[in-house]
Amino acid sequence: MSSLVIVGAQWGDEGKGKVVDLFAAHADVVVRFQGGNNAGHTLVVGNERTIVHLMPAGVLHAQATCVIGNGVVIDPAVLCGEIDELRRRGYLADPAQLKIDERAHLILPVHRAIDVASEEQAGAGRIGTTGRGIGPCYEDKMARRGLRVVDLLDPEWFRRRLDALLAVRNPALERLGRPAADADAICRELLAYGERLAPHVTDTSLYLADQVERGRRILFEGAHGSMLDIDHGTYPFVTSSNVVTGAVGTGAGIPPRHVSRVLGISKAYTTRVGGGPFPTELDDEVGAKLREVGVEFGSTTGRPRRCGWFDAVVVRQAARLSGMSGIALTKLDVLSGLPKLKIAVAYECDGKRFERVPAGMRDLESAKPVYEELDGWTEDIGPVRRFEELPAAARRYIARIEELTATPVTLISVGAEREETILLRDPFLV
């Protein structure tokens, strides 16, 4: 069997949706294994733009079974909304195309309320979360009081577990100045969603084991980016799940040895949404140009993204953490027209040189990037489909990224459409 993991190599929003959609055409199964609807994967086909938050981005390909694994946190309202919208557009006609793991945890309205209220209370110290209830849901999972998809199928048990959860969460909500959640209302709402989702609910770990046995091609679709990983990211300005390749094993319920290839997605520059350190951030007209030309606004929250130069320290770290066998370099076209380009090769923090991302937030906040400067190019590269046709300066820029990250660039994206892609090697095979 051949499997491919797609992970973000920066702070999320690297363009994973497009790449997953591209390779899903050759996959039998596409699996989400962590995160929730804090993710937003944009798929552009012709004039149609589809943004999915929970549904695996392979959903536009009818032959690909979509799996939402146990490591994902599911907001049933959002999932049902996405199913309806996709069906309206003619996708997901066969219910068997979507499988939802029975062990996945549920995001409840109370999680969203706590997420938003705690961010408000944190003031300047806030994380800048997406407000979707992700953190509080994972907190309840780890505290062993969470509710799971399987509980939706047993109303009596669901109510019992919900009461136990609210006994802890309602006083917390009231301390945050919010009204307590109403158990009856939650039961009514969630159990109705449960009935709709029931035909899709199964043991997806078992299903995947069978697919592995049959030698099927499996695509694991990561959400967010390495620097948002709860363990390896810029803690505490991170999301609440593991997002690196290692999360595939626990989040999909398969042994890690079934992972054969890892494609890390990185923009040709860097962006970040929410708070936290960002050493190569540009507060000048170059940053503004990147935001404007790259349309850098969050697909989940619409927030303007912070923009900066390519940071080889970050991508090198992601390559090491996730065992990236290749890089898909996206949005290279956005850099066209900039006379000079910079790449951060290291940081200086308080007189010390770092070739890795320091763990200490104070080091990272004071980090001054050590830049290398390269020539830019002026040509519009959107129509280019072959590597050799790229301007020499663009080829040099890519070669330098490969050297600094010790990882080959195997795909280059020069636009949002499927065709606007230069594929150097088949990632399932390389």
| Among candidate residues 401, 91, 422, 85, the one with its CA nearest the CA of residue 270 | 401
- C-alpha span between 425 and 430 (Å, rounded): 7
Question: Which of 128, 249, 391, 408 touches ligand IMP (CB under 6 A)?
Answer: 128
User: Rounded to whole angstroms, how far apart are CA atoms 377 and 411?
Assistant: 19
Q: Site mask, ligand IMP, residues 254-273, x = CB under 6 A?
A: -------------------x
Compute how many other C-beta atoms are within 10 angstroms of the C-beta atom of residue 179: 9
Q: Which two tokens stand for residue 171?
A: 């006083």
Secondary structure (3-state) at 298: coil
Q: Which of 17, 58, 71, 135 binds ligand IMP (CB under 6 A)?
A: 135
Identify whether 13 is a catalytic site residue: yes
Question: What are the CA-CA distances from residue 274 to residues 49, 239, 259 (Å)?
Answer: 24, 10, 31
Binders of ligand IMP in range 204-233 (CB under 6 A): 223-224, 228
Find the binder of ligand IMP among 2, 3, 37, 38 (CB under 6 A): 38
Choose the binding region for ligand IMP from 23-31, 38-46, 174-182, 356-364 (rule: CB under 6 A).
38-46
The residue number with the shortest CB distance to ligand IMP is 274
Q: Which of 118, 129, 204, 270 binds ligand IMP (CB under 6 A)?
A: 129
Separation of alpha carbons 328 and 414, rounded Å: 11
Catalytic residue status for 350: no
218: β partners: 3, 29
First to last CA, the chain: 14
How many secondary structure helices (H) and strands (E) does the chain include? 12, 20
Q: How far apart are CA 66 and CA 61, in angstroms?
A: 9
> Which residue in the list 41, 61, 105, 258 is annotated as catalytic?
41
Residue 75 lies near ligand IMP (rule: CB under 6 A): no
Tokens 């129509």, residue located: 383
When asked if residue 314 is in the footprint of ligand IMP (CB under 6 A), the reply is no
234 is a contact residue toward ligand IMP (CB under 6 A): no
User: Which of the residues 13, 101, 229, 333 is marked catalytic?
Assistant: 13
Among 17, 69, 71, 274, binds ligand IMP (CB under 6 A): 274
CA angle at 261 for the pair 258 and 262, rounded to the nearest 5°: 115
CB of 385 to ligand IMP, least distance (A): 28
Inter-residue contact 41 to 16 (CB < 8 Å): yes
Give 237 or 269: the residue with its C-beta nearer to ligand IMP.
Answer: 237
Q: How far is the CB of 310 from ligand IMP (least distance, A)?
A: 17
> Shortest gap between Cβ of 234 and ligand IMP (angstroms)?
9
Minimum CB separation of residue 129 from ligand IMP in Å reads 4
DSSP 206: H
Smaller CB distance to ligand IMP: residue 67 or 223? 223
**Cα-atom radius of gyration of the chain, to the nearest Å?**
21
Region near ligand IMP per CB under 6 A, out of 32-40, 279-287, 306-314, 393-401: 32-40
Q: Which is nearer to ligand IMP, 31 or 346 (CB)?
A: 31
Residue 352 in tokens: 């010390």
Cα–Cα distance for residue pair 246/236, rounded to 1 Å: 20
Scan residues 187-206 and list those touching ligand IMP (CB under 6 A): none
**Binding ligand IMP by CB under 6 A: which of 3, 4, 13, 92?**
13
Residues shown for the chain: 430
Question: Which residues make Cβ contacts (< 8 Å) with residue 154, sequence separation at least 6?
Answer: none
Spatial neighbors of 89 by CB under 8 A, at least 6 apart, are 48, 50
Is residue 56 within the footprint of ligand IMP (CB under 6 A)?
no
CB of 111 to ligand IMP, least distance (A): 10
Residues that bind ligand IMP (CB under 6 A): 11-13, 38-40, 127-130, 132, 134-135, 223-224, 228, 237, 239-240, 273-274
Catalytic residues: 13, 41
